[in-house]
Amino acid sequence: MESLCKTTTWLRDELDSPAQNIRILDCRSRELYDSSHVEKALHVALPGLMLRRLRKGNLTAHSLLPGSPPASRGVALLYDECTASLPTRVGVQSEEQETVLITLLQKLRKEGCTAYYLQDEAASHNCGVLVHCLAGISRSVTVTVAYLMQKLNLSLNDAYDFVKRKKTNISPNFNFMGQLLDFEKSLGLSSPDDNRPHGHSFFTSPSSDDVFELDSLDST
């Protein structure tokens, strides 16, 4: 059985091809899909009832994909927030181990579709990733903080403090900080030892140790 994982380079080549016939299936939560997703990806996170019916064979995988062509056509590429933990060959899984991605991957292949999952290359090879922007203090920092919040379940304050300890001159603009606050709420995260007033967010300036309240700066 061939390897089921594909790289981002493969995906880029497929999307650049004029004859490409690929469906990209995002198996993450709706909140994560809405905040960021691969262009043209379909959202296919399934509720528990539909997932159980799919596993029992009461539903076909293709019936759950909007605008999906017949099983004999095209290629499907699936991804979620933890594809790095998938083996290169998907074997028999217990029901507890079967994520939406694994279930869809197995069902699509059984239905005759050529299906793969997108490999998290950096994590699977245990290597780092360079995140950069023009100045390296705002946009790239925002992306890095958001990644830590999602991947490690860190609150905004904890993720921000972690990044600042590694790079002391970080300074995301106020709009980005507001977006990170919204992202924190969508993830249901909070600092367990945070004694600050409820509903207020604070961050520090890279040029001083002063603490700024985000909400009070909305009008500036």
Contact predicate 183/155, CB 8 Å: no
Measured CA to CA, the distance from residue 162 to residue 93 in angstroms comes to 36
Selecting among 27, 113, 127, 133, the annotated active-site residue is: 133
133 is catalytic: yes
Angle (CA) 134-122-96 rounded to 5° is 130
Contact predicate 78/42, CB 8 Å: no
Among the listed residues 138, 142, 126, the one whose alpha carbon sits nearest the alpha carbon of residue 182: 142
Catalytic residues: 133
